[in-house]
Amino acid sequence: MTPSLERRVAELRARMLVRSWEYRQRHHARGVWFRLRRVLADASAAFVIPPDEAAKLVAEGYRVEPVGQALEPPKSIVFAPADRVARIASARAVPVRLGRELLEAEHLVLTPFEPTC
């Protein structure tokens, strides 16, 4: 009997149980964090924009990412090409990570990575 190793196995198995539970939650409320990270992973840059600019993007046909509506308070998150975002004078770049600036934003526009061959 090796108590320290047995304890580590028990801890590891406990973490696996939690991870399995999180996996089953992936389409429910708790899964929002994976879905948000997945959306952000496709973004080369992120910008905070005013509500009227977000509304214009939606009106132009840019799709609202559903994950933003699964947060509280909800956010609008839209992908748009970099040249379109460049025309939004008030757009403020924020780091693409789950930091305070991004999480506090009510309206975000993300630019996709350039397609590669």
Partner 1 sequence: MAFRDRLLATISAARPVLEEPGVLVVGSEVPNLLEPGAAATLVVSQDLDVGVPVSCHAAVKRHLAEMLVGFQPSPKEPSVWTPRSPDLLEVNFVGIDPSRDPADAYVLEDDQLPLLVFGALSLVKAGAEIALAGTRVRVPRPAGLMLEKLVTDRTGEKGDRDLLVALGLLMTAGPADLDEFDAAYATLRPELCHAVRSNLTVLSLLEPRTGMPDPRPRRAAVAAVLRRLEQLEGGAA
Binding site for partner 1 (CB under 8 A): 1-2, 4-6, 8-9, 12-13, 15-16, 19-20, 23, 26-27, 34, 37-38, 40-42, 44, 96-98, 113-114, 116
Output 8 or 63, the one with its CB closest to partner 1: 8
Q: How far is the CB of 89 from partner 1 (least distance, A)?
A: 26
Shortest Å distance, C-beta 15 to partner 1: 5
CB of 22 to partner 1, least distance (A): 8
Q: 49 and 86 in contact (C-beta within 8 Å)?
A: no
Closest-CA residue to 52 (of 105, 102, 90): 90
Cα dihedral across residues 96, 97, 99, 105: positive or negative: positive
Q: In DSSP terms, which residues pair with 92 in a beta bridge?
A: 48
- Residue 55 or residue 98: which is nearer to partner 1 going by CB? 98
Q: How far is the CB of 49 from partner 1 (least distance, A)?
A: 20
Q: Taking CA 32 as the corner, what is the angle to CA 66 and CA 110, rounded to the nearest 5 degrees?
A: 50
**Token pair in block for residue 70:** 């699964």
